Amino acid sequence: MQKKILLEILSRHHLEEKQINVEHLFCPGFTARDRNSASRFMEQAKGAGMAVPHQAPGIWRVSVDLLTSQEEIQAQGEDTSGEVEAVIFRYGKDIYVTVGSDHTDRSLESISIEKAKQASPKIYSHGAWKYDEVKDHWDDLILRSWILVGGEKILYQEGTLESLMKVEDILAEISRRSGIFPDRTAIFMGTVPFLDGSSRPSPTFWVELEDPLIHRKLSHQYKVDSFPGTY
């Protein structure tokens, strides 16, 4: 199956619209660059009742049809939430970088992270950068997200990509473990910690990726229409 998506490639010199076909969608987890940190995160998640994978990083493939850049999504139940992530699109020899949210059903995570990830859309921003333009200062890029609490927009996540696995390492790990050469592939690269220590649902979710060296940002926001599963 293929999904056609349109990216607006924002380079230092011009804007280019590019349509690409995506055949594979991966959402790795526990992608801390330091393996000891990844193991600690897994133990903490296990203690919180999450069905953690046997090794870090966890590599989960989900339906490519979940990819969306819509500004409103529907989610079953009240226990779903987003998490900001850098997203890469590998298309032939090119790699494009954008920002997105691995929206996930938290109640399902105690049963199966795989099923939890498959249960919700994976949101990405149309705006993107060429990886070659940020490769040399990848670790300096900053992820942020905000949630709505009591009608007030508050900072929810913030951290640099220095703490997460590098692009080349995740590509190699996916290829090694799945047997799929990651071409025509979208990958959500893992998230940074929640500032208050835990995930929280929000009717609106904002995500941002900042490049402090070139002084530019990618951003997206979406609303969550939550509805009960039974009546």
CB 134 within 8 A of CB 162: no
Q: How far apart are CA 118 and CA 103, in angstroms?
A: 10
Gyration radius of the chain's alpha carbons: 17
The residues facing 219 across adjacent strands are: 208
Predicted pLDDT of residue 51? 74
Predicted pLDDT of residue 12? 78
**Domain, as residue range, for 180:** 3-227
Closest CA to 121 of 77, 79, 174, 62: 62
Predicted pLDDT of residue 109? 86
Work out how many domains the chain is built from and give that number.
Answer: 1
Contacts of residue 170, defined as CB under 8 A and 6 or more positions apart, other chains included, come to 28, 31, 57, 187, 189
| Tokens (6 digits) for 2 | 């293929």
Predicted pLDDT of residue 36? 76
Predicted pLDDT of residue 53? 81
Ordered DSSP codes for 101-121: EE-EEGGGGGT-HHHHHHTS-
CATH assignment of the domain containing 13: 3.90.850.10
Tens of pLDDT, residue by residue, the chain (231 residues): 899 999 999 987 789 999 999 999 999 999 999 877 777 777 777 777 777 788 889 999 999 999 999 999 999 999 999 999 999 999 999 999 999 999 999 989 889 999 999 999 999 999 999 999 999 999 999 999 999 999 999 999 999 999 999 999 999 999 999 999 889 999 999 999 999 988 999 999 999 999 999 999 999 999 999 998 788
Closest CA to 66 of 223, 188, 226: 188
The residues facing 89 across adjacent strands are: 96, 186
Predicted pLDDT of residue 104? 93
* Dihedral sign (CA 211, 100, 223, 220): positive
Q: How far apart are CA 22 and CA 129, in angstroms?
A: 17
Q: Which amino acid is at 126?
A: H
